[in-house]
Chains A and B, each alone.
Chain A
């Protein structure tokens, strides 16, 4: 009986806290104010586990392909580089202004810490899923609504090689006349 009462009280408290937080307007949604460490951790874990689970059965095609790189390169330069940067560029309006910040995909995974990437196949899978479906309440759009799977795999192939590219190589691969 005591335990029951305690539980009830805790539930009431939880609901009360939630309602207070929601309706008081105390939560700052400004993108130029980072989350507290705790909230950041909460969202990051939720995000990583969600992507991992959703992507786990995706089959990764052969990504070592020149045509894929060319297709993905042109798309990347046009659609992604403003947020995810390119070799020789370390910041942009979007990379600085968005929160959560878009990871710099032109540097290797080890250089942008903060979340797990799993093994190589898992990283490709995750990337495919993220590009196709986007990430809620972040600047990352779902490109699958307007692009077929092949073009998304092309971008996955491209960003897999992106950290190894020099600015000159990048320019050649992505140039569209």
Chain B
């Protein structure tokens, strides 16, 4: 009885352990480059004939290009930063948090 039980258990182990740890295969990779810069929207390529003016994508493109045409080369258009401006908020918040944390710990000394 005991031996058959041990046999069963070791059979289970023999099947389980290799299944979990083995059967791995590698694939070959060929990495490529990517670059990141501030770029102007290339509005010359918009194909107006094919555009559905109700499509949010089209509306968004029109907005972007209009805005860009109005403010050529100004590095940042602060008047319109509304939502864009939020991008920087979290950095600021972190700084402020860090500072206030430090201050607090000093006050307690």
The answer to whether B9 and A34 touch across the interface, beta carbons within 8 angstroms, is no
Contact A175 B83 (CB under 8 A): no
Count the A-B residue pairs with Cβ separation under 8 angstroms: how many? 129
Report the bound CA distance from A67 to B60 in whole Å: 7
> Inside 8 A of A67's CB, which chain B residues have their CB?
60, 63, 83
**Measured CA separation A168–B42 after assembly (Å):** 8
- Cβ A172 vs Cβ B64 within 8 A: yes
A36 contacts chain B at the CB level, 8 A cutoff: yes
- In the complex, which residues 5-47 of chain B have their Cβ closer than 8 Å to any Cβ of chain A? 5, 9, 12-13, 16-17, 19-27, 29-34, 36, 38-43, 45-46
Q: Looking at B27, B63, B64, B84, which has the most chain A CB atoms within 10 Å of its CB?
A: B64
Q: Do A27 and B21 have beta carbons less than 8 Å apart?
A: yes
On whether the beta carbons of A17 and B42 are closer than 8 Å, the reply is no
Do A69 and B56 contact each other (CB < 8 Å), given the known contacts A28-B24, A176-B38?
A: yes
A45 to B61, CA, bound (A): 39
Whether the Cβ atoms of B20 and A38 lie closer than 8 Å is yes
Most buried by A among B17, B24, B25, B86: B24
Q: How far is the CA of A110 from the CA of B29 in the complex (A)?
A: 24
Whether A169 contacts B9 by the Cβ 8 Å rule is no
List residues of B whose CB falls within 8 A of some A CB.
1, 5, 9, 12-13, 16-17, 19-27, 29-34, 36, 38-43, 45-46, 56-57, 59-61, 63-65, 68, 75-77, 83-84, 86-87, 90
Chain A at the B interface: SS class: helix
Q: How large is the interface on A (under 10, 10 to 19, 20 to 34, 35 or more residues)?
A: 35 or more
A46 close to chain B: CB less than 8 A: no
Q: Which residues of A have CB within 8 Å of B86? A: 148, 151
User: Are the CB atoms of B36 and A78 closer together than 8 Å?
Assistant: yes
Asked if B21 and A173 sit within 8 Å, CB to CB, the answer is no
Looking at the complex, which one of A78, A93, A146 makes contact with B90 (CB distance below 8 Å)? Answer: A146
